[in-house]
Every structure is written in structure tokens, then in C-alpha cells.
């Protein structure tokens, strides 16, 4: 599941530690200036050691980018997997969306980095990253499918797939279109608006549409 990044150092524990230092340093720099404008020396410095040491733990500058992206995805995925995916109620779906959007809000900067720099990954690293995206989208698919199964919403498989992708991207939108949203809404408001729009077209089976407090503009 992980693309191996070769290190010259043997001590696995140390590799773990040093790579975390590298990632921590690099993320900060990438946020500021982007991958291309960040120097390997700057990365080494930010990580707290010499350029020589940096290269004991990576092979190329691009390895750092991969490490960073991989790490961000892992972070998001890990947190995401704390969501309760098994229930099949609309309310749980909404909670999940809210949870995910809040996460995107917290990890805004990281999401932005990943979003903007991932394209600089070498061809052979991309599949690993897309794989992770897929897994996250899958979680929303499962959620949606459960709701369908329990009869709370009405979507066929294709619609589930597209909706899951929409939700996933709308979460990211909060980060990458911050200039359009964050001056107008709080994350709470954004969540409410998006959730409402998504759920409307979904739950309205039998016209019973009653989506709680949010959006009573019926």
C-alpha cells in the first residue's frame, strides 16, 4: 500500500523519527512557498539537520513530496476512519459529512499543499496517492449505500459514486476555494448549506422531506 522510499540508514526506528522531522519541516515550507520553490537545504534545515543527513533518509527531493502527501492522506484517512460508517440513517450521514468537513477545515493548509503539489509527484508515485483518495471516497460510498439499504434515501450505484465524489470534493473546496467561501461563511454555515443541498435531492422519498432545523426555507 505504501510506495517504499529508500533510506541509507538501517535503524527503522530512527528512520521513522527523522522522516517525521522531515515531513513536519517540509509541510511548513510547502505551505509557504510550494514544493518547487523550496530548497532541499531549507528542508534539511527545517527538519533540524544537515543536508547530508536529509539525504540519508530520502533519495530525491521528490521523495519528500511523496512523504508529505502520503502523510497528509494518512492523517486524513485515519481521522476519517473514526467516523461511524455502519449505521444507515440520514442523520448519521449528515454527521459524517460534518465530521469530514470539520477535518478539512482543520487540515486546510495540508489539503492545499496536497492539492496543489501532488501533480509534481512522479508518475510512479501517483497511483499510491490516488489509491488513498479512492479509499476515502469509498467511505462515503459505504455510508450512502447503507442509507439506501435502510430505505432512507434513494440512489442507484452510479449516483452513489458521483455523490460520494461530490461530497469529497466539496470538503476540499472549503480549503481550495477559501477565497470564495471563508469570507462569507463559517465552517458551520458551509456545512449546513452543503449538507442541505446534497441531502435534498436524496432523502425526499415519499415527499416526507423534513430536514430538521437546517434549511427550513421550504
User: Given the rule CB under 8 A, which residues bind a copy of itself?
Assistant: 34, 36, 116, 119-120, 130, 133-134, 137, 154-156, 158-159, 161-163, 165-166, 169-170, 173, 177, 179-181, 184-185, 189-190, 193-194, 196-202, 204, 207, 209, 211, 213-215, 217-218
Toward DNA, which CB reaches closer, 41 or 210? 41
Q: Interface with DNA includes 122 (CB under 7 A)?
A: no
Q: Interface with DNA includes 20 (CB under 7 A)?
A: no
Q: Interface with DNA includes 14 (CB under 7 A)?
A: yes
What CA–CA distance (Å, rounded) separates 176 from 105? 11
Q: Interface with DNA includes 120 (CB under 7 A)?
A: no
Binding at 28: pick from a copy of itself, DNA, none (beta carbon under 5-8 Å per type):
none
**Closest separation in Å from C-beta 17 to DNA:** 8
| Angstrom distances, CA of residue 65 to CA of 8, 31, 62, 163 | 18, 12, 5, 30
Interface residue with DNA among 2, 37, 178, 205 (CB under 7 A) is 37
Long-range contacts formed by 96-101: CB under 8 A, 24+ apart = 96/139, 96/140, 96/143, 97/167, 97/171, 97/191, 97/194, 97/195, 97/198, 98/191, 98/195, 100/140, 100/167, 100/171, 101/170, 101/171, 101/174, 101/187, 101/190, 101/191, 101/194
Sign of the torsion formed by the C-alpha atoms of 149, 155, 156 and 161: negative
Would you say 181 and 190 are in contact if contact means Cβ atoms under 8 Å apart?
yes
Question: Cell digits for 134?
Answer: 479512492
Interface residue with DNA among 3, 28, 31, 49 (CB under 7 A) is 49
Binding at 163: pick from DNA, a copy of itself, none (beta carbon under 5-8 Å per type):
a copy of itself
Point out which span in 4-12, 109-117, 175-183, 198-206 binds DNA (CB under 7 A): 4-12
Question: Cell digits for 32?
Answer: 509557504
Q: Dihedral through CA 193, CA 194, CA 198, CA 201, nearest 10?
A: 30
**Closest separation in Å from C-beta 18 to DNA:** 6
Sign of the torsion formed by the C-alpha atoms of 166, 168, 169 and 174: positive
Q: To which residue does cell 459529512 refer?
A: 97
Q: Within positions 60 to 119, which residues make up the interface with DNA, using CB under 7 A? A: 60-62
**Closest separation in Å from C-beta 43 to DNA:** 8
Q: Interface with DNA includes 19 (CB under 7 A)?
A: no
Where do contacts with DNA occur on this chain (CB under 7 A)?
Answer: 8-11, 14, 18, 37-41, 49-53, 55-56, 59-62
Amino acid at each position: 500500500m505504501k510506495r517504499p522510499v529508500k533510506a541509507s540508514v538501517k535503524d527503522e526506528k530512527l528512520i521513522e523519527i527523522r522522516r517525521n522531522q522531515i515531513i513536519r519541516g517540509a509541510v511548513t515550507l510547502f505551505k509557504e512557498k510550494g514544493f518547487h520553490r523550496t530548497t532541499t537545504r531549507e528542508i534539511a534545515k527545517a527538519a533540524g539537520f544537515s543536508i547530508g543527513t536529509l539525504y540519508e533518509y530520502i533519495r530525491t527531493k521528490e521523495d519528500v513530496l511523496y512523504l508529505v502527501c502520503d502523510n497528509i492522506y494518512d492523517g486524513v484517512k485515519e481521522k476519517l476512519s473514526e467516523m461511524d460508517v455502519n449505521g444507515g440513517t440520514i442523520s448519521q450521514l449528515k454527521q459524517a459529512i460534518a465530521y469530514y468537513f470539520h477535518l478539512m477545515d482543520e487540515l486546510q493548509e495540508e489539503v492545499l499543499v496536497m492539492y496543489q503539489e501532488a501533480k509534481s509527484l512522479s508518475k510512479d508515485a501517483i497511483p499510491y496517492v490516488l489509491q488513498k483518495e479512492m479509499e476515502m471516497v469509498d467511505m462515503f460510498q459505504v455510508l450512502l449505500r447503507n442509507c439506501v439499504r435502510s430505505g432512507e434515501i434513494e440512489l442507484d450505484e452510479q449516483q452513489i459514486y458521483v455523490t460520494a465524489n461530490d461530497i469529497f470534493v466539496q470538503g476540499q473546496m472549503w480549503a481550495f476555494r477559501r477565497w470564495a467561501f471563508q469570507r462569507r461563511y463559517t465552517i458551520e454555515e458551509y456545512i449546513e448549506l452543503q449538507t442541505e443541498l446534497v441531502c435534498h435531492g436524496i432523502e425526499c422519498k415519499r415527499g416526507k422531506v423534513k430536514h430538521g432545523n437546517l434549511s427550513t426555507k421550504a
